Structure 1
Amino acid sequence: MAFLFISIATAALAGLLFGFDTAVIAGVTGDLRTLMGLSPGAVGITVSSALVGTCIGALGAGRPGDRYGSRDCLRVMALLYLISGVGSAMAWDWPSLVFFRFIGGLGIGGSSVLAPVYIAEIAPPRRRGALVGLFQMNIVLGILVAYLSNYLVGGLGLGDAEWRWKLAVTAVPSAVFLSLLVIIPNSPRWLAAKGRLNEAAGVLARMGVADPDTTLRSLAQAGVEGEGRLSWRHHRRPILLAVSLALFNQLSGINAILYYLNDIFAAAGFGKVSADLQSVAVGATNLLFTGIAMTVIDRAGRRTLLLVGAVGMTASLVGAALILSGLGQGAWLIWALLGFIASFAFSQGAVIWVYIAEIFPTPVRARGQSLGSATHWLANAVLSGTFPLVAQYSKGAPFFLFAAMMALQFVVVLAFFPETKRVSLEEMAERLET
């Protein structure tokens, strides 16, 4: 079991890099606007350049993941993270910064496909929700680390070079992730699907599976019977579930809010240092409620968390919209945002990568995850790129839209989403066959 946990923890580190890169940009948008003279549209391009990369990385990771295995492809993603961190810090002009942010986006998009798939394929069914949830836990940990890093680097008096050092920190966890990927094995499910049964049996034994021979026969049979090509005809239900869940994840506004968090606080009248500290509070809340979700996701179920969170997000977003529209005191904004972050972390944040990794059959799991992840990142890029443009005309309008989408999510989940807790991946694939 120790080897199993090491393998899962290593893959989940991709989430830390995902989260760090998501949040670190919030601490440099002000400097980039001042030092490079960027317009609101150019700032949006700087932020969304990484997101364009994530869309391409997510779309491109599925087929190599199914063919070469998630582990080997994750090594490539780690290298992209490292190149992006070093290159962004050394960028010589705005186009070069946009380019290296794009490279990092490729790594984020690819790892958002590959890491949850790898963890889902090696985790025991009774604990799969919590174990795949470690990926999300590391995302929010990465967000908190980025906020803390921005705050600490901001206090070093680095002047015009401050933004470079904030981005350079990314290289450290990237190097650690790349080195740890050397020691973990291929997924036994992937090995069995490729006919490498002896290797699969060896990995199952090392991971402490009680009856590796019986498990191996089940995995091998699933690989033989499975349809090896993702298609609307055979996989219509999981495709619809994955795409709708990914869209609602971003229509909550989570990433647009995180990317521009300091700007949002500034719009409510907070100073730079105060905004940095409140960003840390947001990150800590995200981590706390993700941890709480991980303790109940395999008991309460994925569907219940999505429903509860939708109610909390709707109420919090309406509150934030009213405050930013001038109908409430600016000092209350932090509480509205903390309520939103807590509700998101407890529901959508904890569930998305678990759920999408569970609903596709093994032969096309990486490609199904790729579809869901690409949808997530495409919506992310569109919303984050347009957020500053819309907000300059009406600061509250985007939040009213996000609230309406979360109310709609409640209805859709209640009507159409099946529960996946404690169901084997093979059984879930049978239930969702069309």
Structure 2
Amino acid sequence: KCTKIISFVAAFNSGVSLTNLPVEIIEKIAAQTNFDPNDHTILSLLETSFCIGAAVGTFITPLYTKKLGLTKSLFILFIIQLLASGVSAIPVYWIYLVTMRFVTGLGSSSLASLSPLLVAENLDPQARGKTVMMFAIALNLGVFAAYIIHFTLSFQYDFWYFTFLTPIIVSFVGIITTQVLIKINKQKRKDRVGQQEEIIQTEQIIHSDTFIPTLAEENTEAFDQRYHQQIASIDFNAKLTRTQFKRILYITIALGLMQMFTGVDAIVIYASNIFSDTFKSEKSGIYGSMIIGAVNCICTFVAAPFAEHKPRRVMLLIGVIGAGVCDLIIAICYIAKADSYIILLFIMLFFMFYNLGPEPIVFMFFSEMFPERYK
């Protein structure tokens, strides 16, 4: 249960943190800290700092995880997320906010990277697939929750700092759950040590002068010794130099790149602008964001049962091809200056295809592709 909660919380936190700083709230912060909210350089830095932090977090995650361990790394990352979200609510200056967005992106990305690994290590294959699907659902729920919060704050932007409250609460839940998991793992290690001591005592009795080992027992012992020596001599780098694991590693990287090259980030960023241009109302952009968030959640819920029973490669191909076709049609519509309603239609179709394949299936592949010993 702790593993499932941590996976859900990490994904939800990533979704909320990604979308909880809209332009309207930046304008309120600018009014209190005396910087120009219309400065494109500042806006670009505020928007990209989270993504840059996420990229850095992805690269450095293996470095400290190897030393600290998985659960301790998650515990520290949740603390970082809580602190970064909390201090982001303090209006200081735009450079300060950019720095906090960078730290938030770093923590969110690291949590999202470690959660599938935690699932792969602690759950059996059946529960693993469902939990990874839950991760994708939680990610979309987090984005949708941020849009709902933005809509609520739009009636009174003076309470803009409440946009950081949800990540704080979610991070706190993650800290508590991770601490519980650490205690559970410690108890399991103690139990294993006790079992090993009992086995050693039993072997000492069996191998005493009272018992004479048979030839089969001697051969088994010799095999076990050679096997453990061979396993001990293999390090992480050696594993990845083997051809089969190189192939799996390359496929994993390609799947991640394919997921991003579907253009989902660009669609999400510009969809609210398209809604604003289409409906010409004061809050149409906010309504559009909420609609997109709702469509994402619904499509992920619909895709969840299919991912458990249908061939996943087929679903992935359908999703990627469908999303690619929608990208092409949207681009043609922009070039031809087509009606905004047509663009909105294909944006909705894009999210349907994306949530059918590239988003949930790729996460499931990540948790299942590597053999158990090499995860």
* TM-score of Structure 1 vs Structure 2, range by shorter chain: 0.7 to 0.9
- The yes-or-no answer on 1:233 pairing with 2:221 is no
1:178 equivalent in structure 2: 175
Tell me if 1:89 matches 2:99: no
Q: Residue 357 of structure 2 is aligned with which of 347, 351, 369?
A: 347
Partner of 1:25, secondary structure, is: coil
Quote the residue 2:298 is aligned against: 288
Give the greater-gyration-radius structure (CA). 2
**Distance across 2 between alignment mates of 1:360 and 1:67:** 21
SS at match of 1:360: coil
2: CA distance, partners of 1:314 / 1:269: 26
Which stretches in structure 1 are left out of the alignment for 5+ residues?
A: 203-216, 366-434
Percentage identity across paired residues of the two chains: 18
Match of 1:357 in 2: 367
* RMSD, matched Cα: 3.3
CA contact (8 A) 2:327 2:350 kept: yes
- The aligned residue for residue 108 of structure 1 is 108
Change (3 A) 1:282 1:187: farther
Instruction: Select the structure with the greater relative contact order (CA < 8 A; seq sep ≥ 6).
Output: 1
Q: Check if 1:198 corresponds to 2:192.
A: yes
Partner of 2:118: 118
Asked if 1:279 corresponds to 2:289, the answer is yes
Please state whether the residue corresponding to 2:283 is helix, strand or coil.
helix
5+ residue gaps, structure 2, are 197-223
The letter for the 2-side match of 1:148 is: I
Alignment-derived partner of residue 332 in structure 1: 342
Distance 1:145 1:73 in 2: 26
Mapped partners of 1:230, 1:164: distance in 2 = 49
> Structure 1 CA distance, aligned partners of 2:53 and 2:316?
28
Q: 1:70 to 1:130 in 2, by over 3 A?
A: same
Secondary structure at the counterpart of residue 328 of structure 1: coil
Aligned to 1:146: 146
Partner of 1:15: 11
Q: CA deviation at 1:9?
A: 2.3
2-structure distance, mates of 1:292, 1:200: 46
CA contact (8 A) 1:127 1:298 kept: no
> Which runs of structure 2 are paired with 1:261-280 in the superposition (5 Å)?
261-268=271-278, 270-280=280-290
Aligned-partner Cα distance in 2 for 1:68–1:118:
14
Q: Deviations over 1:22-78 (max 9, x none)?
A: 222346477379853343343222111111111221222223334433221111111
Asked whether the 8 Å contact 1:19–1:141 carries over to 2, the reply is: yes
User: For 2:370 and 2:340, how far apart are their aligned partners in 1?
Assistant: 45
Deviation at 1:196, TM superposition (A): 8.0
Indicate the residue corresponding to 1:315 in structure 2: 325
Equivalent pair of 1:116/1:132 in contact (CA under 8 Å): yes
Deviations 1:66-104 (A, max 9, x none): 443322111111111112211222131110110000110
- Indicate how the Cα distance of structure 1 residues 172 and 126 shifts in structure 2: closer, same or farther if over 3 A, else same: closer
**Aligned residues, how many?**
339
Tell me which residue corresponds to 1:46.
46
Kept in 1, the 8 Å contact 2:13–2:142? The answer is yes
- Partners in 1 of 2:239 and 2:108 — Cα distance? 25
Q: Summarize the Cα distance change of 1:109–1:8 in structure 2 as closer, same or farther, 3 Å threshold.
A: same
User: 2:258 is matched with which residue?
Assistant: 248
Larger mean CA deviation between 138-147 and 128-137 belongs to 128-137
Residues 223, 40 of structure 1: CA spacing in aligned structure 2 closer, same or farther, 3 A cutoff? farther
Within 1, Cα distance between the matches of 2:58 and 2:268? 21
- Deviation at residue 12 of structure 1 after TM alignment: 2.4
For 2:7 and 2:76, locate their aligned partners in 1 and report how far apart those are by CA, in whole Å.
13
Which residues of 2 match residues 359-378 of structure 1 at below 5 A? 359-361=369-371, 365=375
Secondary structure of 1:296's counterpart equals helix
> C-alpha deviations, 1:389-426, integer Å up to 9, x for none?
xxxxxxxxxxxxxxxxxxxxxxxxxxxxxxxxxxxxxx
Q: For 1:294 and 1:227, how far apart are their aligned partners in 2? A: 37
Q: 2:308 aligns with which of 298, 305, 308?
A: 298
Structure 1, residues 115-139: CA drift from partner, whole Å, max 9, x if none?
1100122222234222222211110
Q: Distance in 2 between matches of 1:32 and 1:336?
A: 34
- CA distance in 2 between counterparts of 1:332 and 1:172 reads 39
Q: Deviations over 1:149-187 (max 9, x none)?
A: 1111112x23xx454432444222222222222222489
Give the partner amino acid of 1:10.
Answer: I
